[in-house]
Structure 1
């Protein structure tokens, strides 16, 4: 039985770790807030009090934490993975971070006799809960093949996209597309509401045509009901768009629409919406339009 250390048991990491238990892996979970290990223990996993305790005997170390500094600390920081993992350990970083940081950490891992894959995911909380995530993987092809059983336990669409950092680059592109779709959906909702249209009916017919998308399917109801409990927080998407705009500048690529959405995301954070689901970009559209942020029946024109 392969032993997996899972570091980071938040909205995404917790269900992923449970799926690994259900797939037959021996899983030890670590989270800075220890209470978040309880669900994993109830599912048949184990709780570790430190990163070192979790990874010391692990064959695979899975990481799912918020940002580049968090990954750097967990892997290369004092009492982290690099100090405590046994040689040959396969590290799978499911976090979404900067491609350059991934490449740097992969080089450090290689020097220590460890293997690192960057494997950011898409699909949000629903994808994590249903083991239906899309996983874009960067790193060595042999390591990708070795990680297949882990990926298959938590994901549905699993693709090796290139060397170290490639997974993070593709994830950045994913977040650019998703952010643009959410912003335009928010604008469409505000638009039809302003004309007194049956918004639920409107989204139903829009979803059946070329305007249909996973974003509309998964986020439309949130906007209609003004229900913004996070699957994926605005503050994290704000971070991801920072990665996009920075990396695009380094590559000499222009992302004009992406830059605008990045500013709207920053505005949402500045207005206190960072902890809400990214579908709450609707609130920014309503603010700019001088509309009520609560559910409105619209007005006849």
Structure 2
């Protein structure tokens, strides 16, 4: 079974900070795109650009042969796919599903298995790159599932990202995303402490960045989020509340594997303190506020 632009109708569920840009790229690439979001207003720009609004998940699933989801939490993924009015109960045999939410590896495996029984195909494909990566179509896409299904969906992935890799069987994409989030968790602590240290030492942090962001300390967080911290720009490219969700998933799966992750545990504790202070809807760079409070 081949998928071409002519025979593919992509349904996109979740048009938030990242999903809106991603769906827009698919439209620009010439795909027919249908959209659904709990809040219709967030999809209005896409509809104006040519996307077809669907009034329910069931309606979208029954009218599309490829469905991409980019929602918030594992409970949302489970409801969207496995609920009474969800995708699996309303899609046609032969449909392809791609969950790009950062979610549970175990849930990804469950969706894959239930889809397979119904003669449908599922991939888990979480992404990294934040709002900037989504806007510029250069996301890193980590995929779990069957190779032949991955190859059929690859042209779609190529509209969204520049680094698209099949990591293994169902759930492998989510496990890989957890590796990504574990790195970010400790890195963000280091970036915040570095910028706080620069200020305390009487340096100009913006100038310090010019020296350290191209050396051994280089990272996405340092180059893209440290400037936002220093400009007091804490708007979300990725929400604090969603990062806490990701760290919770990573810690749970690490515990299942008997793996010690003290850096991840510390980061989660700090971010939970930040959220308790009213910053759950800020961007992850808002962690810097904790350091500002104590300096």
Q: Quick check: TM above 0.5?
A: yes
**Number of the residue aligned with 2:267:** 261
Report the CA distance between 1:111 and its aligned residue: 1.3
Q: How large is the RMSD of aligned CA atoms in angstroms?
A: 0.9
Q: 1:131 aligns with which of 130, 137, 150?
A: 137
Q: Aligned equivalents of 1:86 and 1:10: distance in 2?
A: 26
Q: 1:223-245 deviations in whole A, cap 9, x for unaligned?
A: 11111010001110011000111
Runs ≥4 residues deviating over 4 A: none
**Number of the residue aligned with 1:69:** 75
TM-score relative to the length of structure 1: 0.94
**Number of the residue aligned with 2:247:** 241
Q: Aligned equivalents of 1:57 and 1:208: distance in 2?
A: 48
Matches within 5 A, 1:1-301: 1=6, 2-287=8-293, 289=294, 291=295
Q: 1:10-56 deviations in whole A, cap 9, x for unaligned?
A: 01111100101111110000000011121111221111111122121
Unmatched 5+ stretches in structure 1: 292-301
Q: Secondary structure at the match of 2:281?
A: coil
Q: Secondary structure at the match of 2:63?
A: coil
Q: Aligned equivalents of 2:189 and 2:282: distance in 1?
A: 14
Q: Aligned equivalents of 2:205 and 2:86: distance in 1?
A: 50
Unmatched 5+ stretches in structure 2: 1-5
Q: Secondary structure at the match of 1:82?
A: coil
TM-score relative to the length of structure 2: 0.96
Q: Secondary structure at the match of 1:159?
A: strand
Q: Aligned equivalents of 2:155 and 2:50: distance in 1?
A: 19
Aligned length: 289
Q: 1:220-268 deviations in whole A, cap 9, x for unaligned?
A: 1111111101000111001100011111010011111111111111111
| Alignment check: 8 A CA contact 2:185 2:263 kept | no
